């Protein structure tokens, strides 16, 4: 409870400083809106349905892209985790692919798919796939050998051993992978939409910038941050904690 | 013989193509219902030998046979209890015990067998709990129940109480004795504790190191429960101790030589 009050106070202080900077007139009004202008932009944006429309479009891209990223990433990760040969040949390239910022893929996506939602989804897939694959590979590699030895003494082998022991044993890393895949896909989504022809939250942001509606720009930045942290805290962090506890990885 | 280890050798492949021998030409015959302890200092290959009986390690040379059938792979006729961390954290206590039974019997049957074995290790109260909620000693009891539930011909135990505190180990010794008297399973028990070996087993096989080999074989016919203060216990303990001291001295000297040579 006290922590909650402290956190609220912190926000009040930040907004206060923001207001002070605005009032001092260091930046021109057109480039630096006041907190109340941003609140108003947020209100009208939601009231006239523009933000809702953009959010729905963004979530559509995200859900399609992230689902495919998780599927492809998991398949790649299992392949690299199970086959030493595949990992020796292709494993190192996975890290280089992962280190490429998603926005770099946008020109390529636009040239291949054009200015449409498909190129946004393509960028989201690339954003999430490699980090998912890396985590799934780690997940497979870090299954405790004792689990596998114990299962073998109980007659488990082949597919049975994989699905009954290796898959559940690797769940903690898999869940971490999901969490990171979501985070990376969310960033990729914004990068892709920013350069797209809409609809989407990123597109709305660039549109507002083009018309010098800075209060809308900041409002959308706030929405992006809030969704990012809320989904992480309410969904992925919760799942991760639950799995870690059950698997005996935390006390 | 029930469990026959004949001229068995084991070596691991080294970095530069040279093989590191663990032991060679080892012979050991274990009869049914016997409780045999494999005792030795670390590095003598006792755990490796146990893994070979389980079928988890390949046999470099020689033959291991259970009731005349050569062992090539793990199977449910040999149950194994590991030192720690071998029960599955994503399954409840009861589901863990039911794990080896799936596919071999109906669900109700498996449930009954699991219940019976959980009762045997006094864990009936905890069957819906998950491993992370149990103490180390309780987890090992789950592992014992799980290995016994599939009714193996032989129970292999690899330092099963090595990671437990003294009191818990003492309690589990008593439980294991009761279980053994009830089931009369053949047990091969790997340990580096002389007292544990003498307290529990019918027969203590002492292994030496560099190279790994059997240096002595004691029949322990002292009636159970055995007291540490019993003269006969102390006598055997001292004899084994003097045998092992030579072995440990050998290891130490080698290590010291290595230090002075390089």
Contact A150 B82 (CB under 8 A): yes
pLDDT at B259 over 70: no
From the candidates A145, A153, A163, A171, which should be mutated to test the interface with B, based on the most B CB atoms within 10 A?
A153
Question: Which residue in B has a C-alpha nearest to residue A165's C-alpha?
Answer: B88
A244 or B118, greater pLDDT: B118
What are the start-end ranges of the H helices in B21-165?
Answer: 46-54, 93-98, 107-120, 136-149
Q: What angle do CA A66, A70, A75 make, to 5 degrees?
A: 150
Is residue A200 included in any domain, yes or no? yes
Q: What are the C-alpha distances in Å from A31 to residues A6, A67, A217, A245, B184?
A: 31, 38, 10, 48, 85
Chain B residue set in contact with A, beta carbons under 8 Å: 51, 54-56, 74-76, 78-80, 82, 85-90, 99-100, 104, 130-132, 143, 146-147, 150, 156
DSSP state of B21: E
pLDDT at A134 over 60: yes
Question: Which residue in A has a C-alpha nearest to residue B57's C-alpha?
Answer: A149
pLDDT of amino acid B104: 87
Is residue A12 included in any domain, yes or no? no
Contact B26, B7 (CB under 8 A): yes
Q: A82 falls in which pLDDT band (50, 70, 90)?
A: very high
Q: Hunting for tokens 């794990």 — which residue is that?
A: B99
Contact A153 B99 (CB under 8 A): no
User: Torsions phi, psi of A151, nearest 5?
Assistant: -65, -35
Q: pLDDT averaged over chain A?
A: 93
Give A-chain residues touching B77 at CB under 8 angstroms.
Answer: none
The CATH number of the domain covering residues in B3-77+159-261: 3.40.50.300
Over range A97-108, report the average pLDDT.
92
Q: What is the pLDDT of residues B50-61, one digit of tens each?
A: 999 999 999 999
Over range A90-109, report the average pLDDT.
92
**Among partner residues A153, A171, A247, which is closest to B79 by beta-carbon distance?**
A153
Residues 6+ apart with CB under 8 A from A180: A131, A132, A135
Percent of chain B clearing pLDDT 70 (strictly above): 98
Percent of chain A clearing pLDDT 90 (strictly above): 89
Q: Which residues pair with B205 in a beta bridge?
A: B38, B217
Q: B228 falls in which pLDDT band (50, 70, 90)?
A: confident
Q: At what angle do helices B107-120 and B136-149 cross, to 10 degrees?
A: 130
Side-chain-side CA neighbours of A245 within 13 Å: the count stands at 7
Is residue A239 included in any domain, yes or no? yes
Is residue A2 included in any domain, yes or no? no
pLDDT of amino acid B172: 94
User: Torsions phi, psi of B7, nearest 5?
Assistant: 45, 50
**Among partner residues A149, A151, A154, which is closest to B150 by beta-carbon distance?**
A154
DSSP state of B82: -
Contact B132 A147 (CB under 8 A): no
Is residue A22 included in any domain, yes or no? no
pLDDT of amino acid B262: 60
Q: What is the pLDDT of residues B131-179, one digit of tens each?
A: 999 999 999 999 999 999 999 999 999 999 998 999 999 999 999 999 9
Over range A80-91, report the average pLDDT.
94
pLDDT at B221 over 80: yes
Quote ipTM for the complex: 0.90
pLDDT at B250 over 90: no
Contact A246 B90 (CB under 8 A): yes
Query: How would DSSP label each residue in chain A?
Result: -HHHHHHHHHHHHHHHHHHHHHHHTSS-TTTS--HHHHHHHHHHHHHTTHHHHHHHHHHHHHHHHHHHHHHHHHHHHHHHHH-HHHHHHHHHHHHHHHTS-GGGHHHHHHHHH-SSHHHHHHHHHHHHHHHHHHHHHHHHHTS-HHHHHHHHHTT--HHHHIIIIIHHHTHHHHHHHHHHHHHHHHHHHHHHHHTSSSSSHHHHHHHHHHTT-HHHHHHHHHHHHHHHHHHIIIIIHHHHHHHHHHTT---
Contact A169 B88 (CB under 8 A): yes
pLDDT of amino acid B253: 80
**Among partner residues B75, B132, B150, which is closest to A246 by beta-carbon distance?**
B132
Beta strands B203-208 and B61-66: pairing type? unpaired
pLDDT at A251 over 70: no
pLDDT at B260 over 80: no
Is residue A236 included in any domain, yes or no? yes
Q: pLDDT averaged over chain B?
A: 91
Q: Hunting for tokens 């033959």 — which residue is that?
A: B63
> Domain with A156 in it: what CATH number?
1.10.3720.10
Number of domains into which chain A is organized: 1
**Cα A65 to the center of its chain, rounded Å:** 11
Is residue A26 included in any domain, yes or no? no
Q: What is the pLDDT of residues A150-198, one digit of tens each?
A: 999 999 999 999 999 999 999 999 999 999 999 999 999 999 999 888 7
Domain, as residue range, for A239: 46-246
Closest Cα of chain B to A145: distance in Å? 9
Give A-chain residues touching B80 at CB under 8 angstroms.
Answer: 149-150, 153
Give B-chain residues touching A147 at CB under 8 angstroms.
Answer: 86, 88
Over range A47-68, report the average pLDDT.
95
Closest Cα of chain A to B237: distance in Å? 32
Contact B100 A155 (CB under 8 A): yes
Q: B238 falls in which pLDDT band (50, 70, 90)?
A: very high
Q: Which residues pair with B64 in a beta bridge?
A: B5
Q: What is the pLDDT of residues A12-42, one digit of tens each?
A: 999 999 999 999 988 988 889 999 999 999 9
Domain range summary for chain B, segments of one domain joined by +: 3-77+159-261, 87-151
Is residue A67 included in any domain, yes or no? yes
Over range A190-208, report the average pLDDT.
92
Q: Left (φ > 0), alpha (ψ -120 to 50) or beta: where does A44 sit?
A: alpha
pLDDT at B254 over 80: no
């Amino acid at each position: 409870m006290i922590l909650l009050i402290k956190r609220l106070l912190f926000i009040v202080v930040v907004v206060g400083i923001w207001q002070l900077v605005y009032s001092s007139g260091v930046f021109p009004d057109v480039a630096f809106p006041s907190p109340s202008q941003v609140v108003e932009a947020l209100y009208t944006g939601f009231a006239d349905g523009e933000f809702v429309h953009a959010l729905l479009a963004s979530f559509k891209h995200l859900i399609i892209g992230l689902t495919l990223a998780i599927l492809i990433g998991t398949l790649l990760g299992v392949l690299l985790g199970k086959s030493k040969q595949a990992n020796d040949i292709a494993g190192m390239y996975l890290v280089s692919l992962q280190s490429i910022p998603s926005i770099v893929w946008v020109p390529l996506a636009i040239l291949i798919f054009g200015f449409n939602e498909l190129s946004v989804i393509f960028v989201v897939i690339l954003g999430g796939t490699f980090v998912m694959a890396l985590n799934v590979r780690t997940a497979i590699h870090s299954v405790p050998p004792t689990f596998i030895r114990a299962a073998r003494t109980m007659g488990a082998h082949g597919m049975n051993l994989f699905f009954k022991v290796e898959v559940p044993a690797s769940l903690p890393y898999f869940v971490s992978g999901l969490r990171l895949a979501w985070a990376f896909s969310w960033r990729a989504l914004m990068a892709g939409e920013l350069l797209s022809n809409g609809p989407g939250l990123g597109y709305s942001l660039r549109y507002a910038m083009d018309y010098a509606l800075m209060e809308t720009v900041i409002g959308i930045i706030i929405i992006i941050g809030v969704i990012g942290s809320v989904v992480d805290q309410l969904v992925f962090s919760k799942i991760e904690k639950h799995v870690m506890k059950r698997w005996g990885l935390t006390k | 013989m029930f469990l026959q280890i004949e001229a068995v050798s084991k070596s691991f492949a080294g970095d530069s193509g040279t093989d590191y021998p663990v032991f060679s030409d080892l012979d050991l015959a274990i009869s049914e219902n016997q409780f045999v302890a494999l005792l030795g200092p670390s590095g003598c290959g006792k755990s490796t030998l146990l893994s070979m009986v389980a079928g988890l390690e390949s046999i470099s040379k020689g033959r291991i046979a259970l009731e005349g059938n050569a062992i090539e792979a793990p199977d449910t006729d040999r149950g194994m209890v590991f030192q720690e961390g071998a029960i599955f954290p994503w399954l409840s206590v009861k589901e863990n015990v039911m794990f080896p039974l799936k596919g071999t019997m109906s669900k109700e049957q498996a449930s009954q067998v699991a219940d019976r074995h959980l009762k045997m290790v006094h864990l009936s109260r905890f069957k819906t709990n998950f491993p992370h909620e149990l103490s180390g000693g309780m987890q090992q009891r789950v592992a014992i129940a799980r290995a016994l539930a599939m009714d193996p011909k032989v129970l292999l135990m690899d330092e099963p109480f090595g990671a437990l505190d003294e009191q818990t180990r003492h309690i589990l010794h008593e439980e294991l004795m009761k279980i053994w008297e009830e089931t009369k399973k053949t047990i091969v028990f790997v340990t580096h504790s002389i007292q544990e070996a003498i307290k529990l087993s019918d027969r203590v096989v002492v292994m030496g190191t560099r190279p790994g080999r059997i240096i002595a074989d004691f029949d322990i016919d002292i009636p159970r429960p055995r007291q540490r203060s019993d003269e006969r216990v102390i006598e055997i303990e001292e004899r084994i101790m003097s045998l092992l001291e030579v072995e440990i001295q050998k290891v130490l000297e080698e290590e010291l030589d290595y230090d002075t040579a390089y």
